[in-house]
Amino acid sequence: MSSGSGQGSDPHLLSLLRAIRLRQNAPEAAGAGAADAAAALSEIAARKRKPEDDDQSEETETPYFSASGRSSDPEKTRHADPGLLWRGDPGATLGRAGMQPRASRSSIPPVGGINPSGPATPVPNIPPLAAARPIGAPGTEFPPAQAYPSIPRLQPTGSGPSRDGMDPADDQALRDTQRLLSTSLTFAGGPGEVAGRLWQALHQARPALLESLPGDPAAQRARLADAITWLVHHMENPPLLVSGCSQLGGALAECGIQWNQLHVVGAALAEAMRAGMAPGAWRQDFDQAWRWTWQHTYEWIVHGGTLTGYQPTVWDTEVVEHDLRRNDLAVLRLRPFLPMPYRPGQYARFEVTAVPGVWRPYSPAGAPHRDDLIELHVRAKTETGVSGTLVHHTRPGDRIRVTRPEGAMTLPAERGRGILMIAGDTGVAPMKAMLAELAATADTRQAVLFWGVRDLSELYDIDDLNALAAAAPRATVIPVVAEGDPGPYPGGLVTDAVAAYGEWSRHEIYLAGPPLMIASTSAALQQLGVPAARIHHDPPE
């Protein structure tokens, strides 16, 4: 990306530019330039005219690109498709969803420009290579703000070409933009204060946007501060910046965000910066830098959102707490680096580094309206596998990957029915999520949770469950102990306790636990007159 690459900077054209400059400025790097060029050209090869098609019209021809990134033939450039963000078939929808006409952005001039080191002459074809280097780099996850306590102001390292072949003027333009962003952010009070003002502006202008995101207001403001810090810190690294914004776009699309809801963010961010400065301190170059940055960030976010229809979305999370409740059971809390939506009662699949490629389903016990953490209840029979790793070999700071949430065992939309939840062992996790949601939203529906355990030692989460029930308007938790001294709780089978407690034919009933427990409980409930259509549970795996 160059700050002067104009509207809709194209990473593939950027790669081509780098290859051209490598050939001009560093002949010994011709091999690397050819690989970069092949990677860039592979994305537009479908639009390139074949040699045997010389009799076709110019509309079917892909123009050559000069060192400035624009077509050397104005007539051919006129036929280029302006709707594509950076890749894909021009007839596909990829990169087009929700985009406004580019003419509407022309009022915001770029901060800098590309200064090619040679004349703008056509570049001959570069033969494709078998092993083209991919664009981008690993480690593009969305890191927390505390990983970057301060935003460094990078200085030029020399007057010669950079290692990746970018023109020094392009590198300098990026550093100048980063310096403006960092300086203005400091003058405006820092990421935390700016994020607070931005959240307030979005809450007034686009409340539906914030309602679609997980977490309470405090968690949302914290994540906005993280995002602002990350954006400024990575301004000088275009491949990482594009990849990170693309991942953010995928996460926002999963949250149900519409792209037209994001149009206001750029102006609100600039206003949040200006409002925190002393009178007269807000400068035109500050405003220009932030609006230009958002202009490109928006396009990369939209591109990432369109990819969700073609590839699965995966979230990277960090373990922030690991609590070993029993020798074989742990409660973990994870924080996703990007917004992860889920409905209480759903499950997702988790992968640990020690067992790559194996995805194990668990039901989060948290509530999206309460905070942005994912709580897992994991019981392990051995010290190996995904469960064994999570219980015995996982510590705070470890990374865990999570897939898109699944399952329909969620709170019913119809509020006229009561809710009966019956759980066994760690099957209490999705029920806890439902209780947390009832408490966070002050839902007035009656909810009763029966938690069947073998003995008193298995009530590993009873205090948290009782606290949630107390916070919800009409919720009750009833542990049922099958063996030994039940203490203050009912003893025996959980199905007997359910039958003795009341009549449930008008309730929506949710089951979670071992497969045998689910099967026997479902059969017992149907014998009590409960319609099978009102008994909900996930399919056993």
pLDDT in tens, 437-447: 999 889 999 99
Residue 190, φ and ψ in degrees, nearest 5: 95, 165
Of the two residues 470 and 138, the one the predictor is more confident about is 470
Residue 317 has pLDDT above 90, yes or no: yes
Phi-psi region of 437 (alpha: psi -120 to 50; beta: other; left: phi over 0): alpha
Residue 474 has pLDDT above 50, yes or no: yes
Tell me the average pLDDT across 193-220.
93
Non-local CB neighbours of 541 within 8 Å, separated by 6+ positions: 361
How far apart (Å, rounded) are the C-alpha atoms in residues 354 and 374?
A: 20
Q: List helix spans (H) across 118-216.
A: 168-187, 191-205, 207-211
**DSSP state at residue 49:** P
Of the two residues 470 and 164, the one the predictor is more confident about is 470
Contact between 475 and 439 under an 8 Å Cβ cutoff? The reply is: yes
Every domain range in the chain assigned CATH 1.10.490.10: 11-154+162-309
Q: What percent of the chain has pLDDT over 90?
A: 52
Contact between 434 and 420 under an 8 Å Cβ cutoff? The reply is: no
Q: What is the CATH number of domain 418-536?
A: 3.40.50.80
Quote the tokens at residue 83: 């709707």
Most confident of the following: 3-7, 159-163, 481-485: 481-485
**DSSP state at residue 71:** B
Of the two residues 58 and 306, the one the predictor is more confident about is 306
> Global pTM?
0.67
In the three-class reduction of DSSP (H, G, I as helix; E, B as strand; rest coil), residue 284 is classed as helix
Contact between 320 and 334 under an 8 Å Cβ cutoff? The reply is: yes
Q: Any bridge partners for residue 351, and if so which?
A: 401
149-153, 234-238, 393-397: least confidently modelled range: 149-153
pLDDT value at residue 77: 37
Every domain range in the chain assigned CATH 2.40.30.10: 314-403
Q: List helix spans (H) across 282-377.
A: 284-306
How far apart (Å, rounded) are the C-alpha atoms in residues 177 and 235?
A: 8
Quote the tokens at residue 23: 């050939």
Contact between 399 and 425 under an 8 Å Cβ cutoff? The reply is: no
Contact between 135 and 11 under an 8 Å Cβ cutoff? The reply is: yes
pLDDT value at residue 84: 30
114-157 confidence digits (pLDDT tens):
333 333 334 344 344 333 333 334 443 333 333 333 333 334 44
38-47, 260-269, 320-329, 530-539: least confidently modelled range: 38-47
pLDDT value at residue 11: 52
Distances 326 to 47, 331, 377, 391 between C-alpha atoms, Å: 61, 10, 11, 10
Most confident of the following: 105-114, 163-172, 507-516: 507-516
Cα–chain center distance at 110? 28
Of the two residues 448 and 408, the one the predictor is more confident about is 448
pLDDT value at residue 261: 87
Among candidates 88, 505, 143, 473, which has minimal Cα distance to 306? 88
Of the two residues 360 and 135, the one the predictor is more confident about is 360
Residue 481 has pLDDT above 50, yes or no: yes
Identify the architecture of domain 314-403 in CATH: Beta Barrel (2.40)
Q: List helix spans (H) across 307-399.
A: 385-392
Residue 101 has pLDDT above 50, yes or no: no
47-51, 246-250, 302-306: least confidently modelled range: 47-51
In 3-state terms the chain splits into helix, strand, coil percentages (rounded to 5) of: 40, 15, 45
How far apart (Å, rounded) are the C-alpha atoms in residues 92 and 113?
A: 30
Q: Any bridge partners for residue 349, and if so which?
A: 361
pLDDT value at residue 167: 63
Q: How confident is the model at residue 506 (pLDDT cuts 50, 70, 90)?
A: confident
Tell me the average pLDDT across 422-446.
93
Provide the terminal-to-terminal Cα distance of the chain, rounded to the nearest Å: 46
Q: What is the mean pLDDT of the chain?
A: 76
Non-local CB neighbours of 286 within 8 Å, separated by 6+ positions: 180, 183, 184, 273, 274
How far apart (Å, rounded) are the C-alpha atoms in residues 504 and 501?
A: 9
Every domain range in the chain assigned CATH 3.40.50.80: 418-536
Which homologous superfamily does the CATH classification assign to the domain defined by 11-154+162-309? Globins (1.10.490.10)
521-537 confidence digits (pLDDT tens):
999 999 888 899 999 99
- Count of beta carbons in the 10 Å neighbourhood of residue 326: 11
Quote the tokens at residue 403: 């897939």
Residue 406 has pLDDT above 50, yes or no: yes
pLDDT value at residue 325: 95
pLDDT value at residue 81: 35
Q: Give every strand in the sheet of 399-403, ordered side by side.
A: 360-362, 348-352, 399-403, 314-326, 329-336, 374-379
Helix (H) / strand (E) containing 402: strand 399-403
Nearest-Å Rg of the Cα atoms of the chain is 28
Tell me the average pLDDT across 308-314.
87
130-134, 204-208, 509-513, 517-521: least confidently modelled range: 130-134
pLDDT value at residue 32: 47
